[in-house]
A and B are shown apart, each in its own frame.
Chain A
Amino acid sequence: MYAISRSSLIVLILLGLGFGIYPLVGDSYYIRLLTKIMALGIFAMSLDLLIGFTGLISLGHAAFFGVSAYTVVWFVVKMEILNAFLIFPAALAVAGLCALVIGWLSIRTAGIYFIMITLAFAQMLHAFFKDQHYWGGTDGINFNDKPMLMVGDTVLFDLSNKINLYYLTFSLMVAAFIFLAVLLRSPFGRAIQGVKVNEGRMRAMGYNINHLKLMSFVIAGCLAGAAGFIEATRTSFVNPEYLSWHASGNVMVMVILGGMGSLYGSLLGALALTLLGDNISSLWDHWLLIMGGFVIAVVMFMPDGISGSIESLSRRFRKASPPREETGP
C-alpha cells in the first residue's frame, strides 16, 4: 500500500530543492541534462504506475512517449502551430488514445504474453514511423521553432529559453508526482494495488479487473506523453528511436534500479542512470559494459532498488522505534 514514508519525504525534499535551485548556480550543459532527467523521471514514474502498482509489466511504454513527441513535430513542422496550450493537451490525448487501443488489446493477456504484446505494439509503431517518409523516416525530423505558451499572439513563456523549459519540466514533474500520490490513495489507486497483490480475489470481490488495468494503462500512457512532449521540445528533434525497444527497456531499468512501487525511486533511477551514462560515455566508448555491470550489481545487492535500500537503511537507523504500520483512516 503506497504511503509516503519519512525517508522518502526527506529524499523528495532534497530532490525538489536540488532541482529547484540548480539553474541559479549551474551551467547550461547540466541545465539541459537535468531537464532531460526530469522528463525521464516523469516517464519512469508513469511506468512505475504500471509495474510497481498495477502489476502490469509493459515493455512497450516508449510507444506513448514517442507518439507524443511525433505529435509535437506534427504541430510545429506540419501545421506551423507553436501554441503549447494546444500542443501539450493534444500530445497527451494522442498518447492516451494509443494507450487505450493498445491497452484494450493487451490487458486480456497476462505474464510473459503481456510483456511480448506490449513490445510488439511498440515495435509496430516504431516500424511505422521509420518507414514513413512523411514522418522523416529513419532520420527523423528536426525543427527550429519550439512550442511556447501563448494566448493569442502574446507569448507568456518561450520554451526555447532553457531556463523556462527547465522550470516547466520541473513543475510538470512535481505535478505528476503529486497527481500519482493522490491517485494512489484514492479508491481507484487502492484497487489497482489490490489487483497487483491478488487479482483473483479482487475479481471474486466484484471488481472489474480489465477496467481497472485499462484505466491505469491509459493514465500511464498520458503521463508518458507529457514526458515525450518535453523531450521533443528540449531536443527540437524526433526520430523513431523515441519508440524503440531500447527506450522502453531503458525506462524499465530506471524503474527497477530506482525501486519499483515507490514513485520517488523512479526519479532516482532516472537521475542515476542518466548521469552515469553521461559521465562514462564521454570517457570510454564501451560505456555500456560498465552500465550493464552497474545494473547487475544493483539488482544483485539492492534487490529493492535504490529506494528500497534507502527505506531499509532508515529503518535500521530508527531501530529504537519499531517500524510503523499504516494506521487509522
Chain B
Amino acid sequence: MSEIILKTQNLSRHFGALMAVDDVTLSFERGLVHAVLGPNGAGKTTLINLLSGEIPPSSGSIHFKDQNITGLPANQISQLGIGRSFQKTNIFPIFTCFENCRLAAQSRMKGSFRFFRSARSYKQINALAEKGLEMCGLANRRDTIAQAMSYGEQRQLEIGMMLSTEPELLLLDEPLAGMGAEESLKVIELLKRLAKDHTLILIEHDMDAVFAVADRLAVMVNGRLLETGTVGEVRASKAVQEAYLGSDEEGH
C-alpha cells in the first residue's frame, strides 16, 4: 500500500543568506493527504514552489514516481500530472470562469499548435472545464468574468483551474485562505472527495480543516522539517507543541 509517489532528498533553497527551505527530506505516499504546517515564513510555499518547478532548488533532489524531476520547468512538471493551486490568487481576471478552466483543460491537448478550429469546439476539453467548475462549486458562475466575483469565489476558481488539468498529485497552497465559513466547508468536502482518488499535499493554517482531512503531517519551522508522522504522532510531539501547535491551540 505505502507506495511513494513523491520524494525529496536534502532539498534546499536559499534566497541570499536566507534558507527558505533547508535540507528537507520527505516522502509522500500515494493516495494519502499530507498536510504541511508551520508558522508564517516557515518555507511552506517555497517548498511547493520547488515541488512544482516554479523555482529551482539550490541543492538536493526531487523524485516523482521513478523519475528525477529536479530542475524541470513548471510546465513539464505540470504535464507529468502534478497540479498546483496558489496561495495568492493566480487566475485570468478578465476571462470568464469557464474560459479560465477551459484554458487549464486545453493544456492537456496533444500538440500545442492548433490554429484553425474554434477553441470552443473541442468537446473533451469543454467537458474537462465544466467538470472543474462543477467540482469547485462555480458551475453557476460559468459565464461570469473572474474579476467580478468575490475573493472567496476567486479562491474556488483557483482550485477549479487546477482540477481542470486532471492532475493525480495536487499541491494546494492554503486553499481556504480568505474564504468565508460556508465556502470553506464546501471546499473541505471537496478535498475529502478528491482524497479518494488523488494524492494531496496541503498547506493550511486552519487546524480544523487539517485534522478533518489529513492522514500525515509535516511541520516546518524556519525552513527545516521539525517533525513528520501521522496526525496523532505529530500532535503528541513535544517539539511541535512548543514550536507551533501549542501556541496555536492556546490562541483559540
Query: In whole angstroms, how far apart are the Cα atoms of A200 and B89 in the complex?
Result: 12
Whether a CB of chain A sits under 8 angstroms from the CB of B10 is no
Interface residues of A in 175-202 (CB under 8 A from B): 182-183, 185-191, 194, 197-198, 200-202
Interface residues on chain B, number (Cβ under 8 Å):
43
Closest A residue, CB atoms, query B49: A204
Other-chain residue from A201, A203, A207, A329 in contact with B92 (beta carbon distance below 8 A) = A201
Interface residues of B in 103-154 (CB under 8 A from A): 103-104, 106-109, 112-122, 125-126, 143-145
Question: How many residue pairs at the A-B interface have CB separations less than 8 Å?
Answer: 107
With A203-B73, A207-B75, A209-B75 already in contact, the answer to whether A326 and B99 are too (CB < 8 A) is yes
Q: Mark A1-36, 1 if CB is under 8 A from B, else 0.
A: 100000000000000000000000000000000000
Other-chain residue from B78, B103, B121 in contact with A191 (beta carbon distance below 8 A) = B103
Would you call B91 and A212 a contact (CB within 8 A)? no
Interface residues on chain A, number (Cβ under 8 Å):
31
Whether a CB of chain A sits under 8 angstroms from the CB of B94 is yes
Q: Mark B49-74, 1 if CB is under 8 A from A, else 0.
A: 00010100000000000000000011
With A186-B115, A187-B122, A188-B114 already in contact, the answer to whether A206 and B103 are too (CB < 8 A) is no
Could you tell me the distance in whole angstroms from the C-beta of B65 to the nearest C-beta in chain A? 17
B115 proximity list for chain A (CB < 8 A): 182-183, 186, 188-189
Whether a CB of chain A sits under 8 angstroms from the CB of B12 is no
Could you tell me the distance in whole angstroms from the C-beta of B79 to the nearest C-beta in chain A? 5
B108 proximity list for chain A (CB < 8 A): 206
Could you tell me the distance in whole angstroms from the C-beta of B51 to the nearest C-beta in chain A? 12
Would you call B122 and A205 a contact (CB within 8 A)? no
Main secondary structure of the interface of B (DSSP, over half): loop
Closest B residue, CB atoms, query A326: B96
Q: Mark A288-329, 1 if CB is under 8 A from B, else 0.
A: 000000000000000000000000000000000000011111
Would you call B103 and A205 a contact (CB within 8 A)? yes
Would you call A1 and B143 a contact (CB within 8 A)? no
A327 proximity list for chain B (CB < 8 A): 96, 143
Query: In whole angstroms, how far apart are the Cα atoms of A204 and B84 in the complex?
Result: 8
Whether a CB of chain A sits under 8 angstroms from the CB of B93 is yes
Query: In whole angstroms, how far apart are the Cα atoms of A212 and B106 in the complex?
Result: 14
Other-chain residue from B75, B86, B91, B106 in contact with A190 (beta carbon distance below 8 A) = B106
Whether a CB of chain A sits under 8 angstroms from the CB of B156 is no
Would you call B95 and A208 a contact (CB within 8 A)? no
Query: In whole angstroms, how far apart are the Cα atoms of A187 and B96 in the complex?
Result: 16
Interface residues of A in 203-228 (CB under 8 A from B): 203-209, 211-212, 215
Would you call A211 and B112 a contact (CB within 8 A)? yes
Would you call B116 and A182 a contact (CB within 8 A)? yes
Other-chain residue from A190, A197, A208, A215 in contact with B119 (beta carbon distance below 8 A) = A190
Would you call A215 and B113 a contact (CB within 8 A)? yes
Could you tell me the distance in whole angstroms from the C-beta of B75 to the nearest C-beta in chain A? 5
Would you call A191 and B90 a contact (CB within 8 A)? no
B116 proximity list for chain A (CB < 8 A): 182-183, 186
Other-chain residue from B54, B78, B90, B95 in contact with A1 (beta carbon distance below 8 A) = B95
Closest B residue, CB atoms, query A182: B116
Could you tell me the distance in whole angstroms from the C-beta of A92 to the nearest C-beta in chain B? 16
Other-chain residue from B90, B96, B117, B165 in contact with A198 (beta carbon distance below 8 A) = B90
With A183-B115, A201-B91, A204-B74 already in contact, the answer to whether A325 and B122 are too (CB < 8 A) is no
Could you tell me the distance in whole angstroms from the C-beta of A51 to the nearest C-beta in chain B? 16
Would you call A186 and B96 a contact (CB within 8 A)? no
Query: In whole angstroms, how far apart are the Cα atoms of A6 and B54 in the complex?
Result: 41
Whether a CB of chain A sits under 8 angstroms from the CB of B161 is yes
Closest B residue, CB atoms, query A198: B92
Closest 5 CB pairs of A and B: A206-B78, A206-B107, A329-B120, A187-B114, A190-B119
Q: A185-B120, A186-B118, A201-B91 are in contact. List 10 more A-B contacts (CB 8 A).
A: A1-B99, A190-B99, A190-B103, A200-B90, A205-B103, A205-B165, A207-B112, A208-B75, A325-B145, A326-B96
Q: What are some 21 contacts across the A-B interface (CB < 8 A)?
A: A182-B115, A185-B119, A186-B117, A187-B106, A187-B112, A187-B114, A187-B117, A189-B119, A190-B102, A190-B106, A190-B119, A191-B103, A194-B95, A198-B92, A203-B75, A204-B52, A204-B54, A204-B74, A206-B108, A209-B75, A329-B120
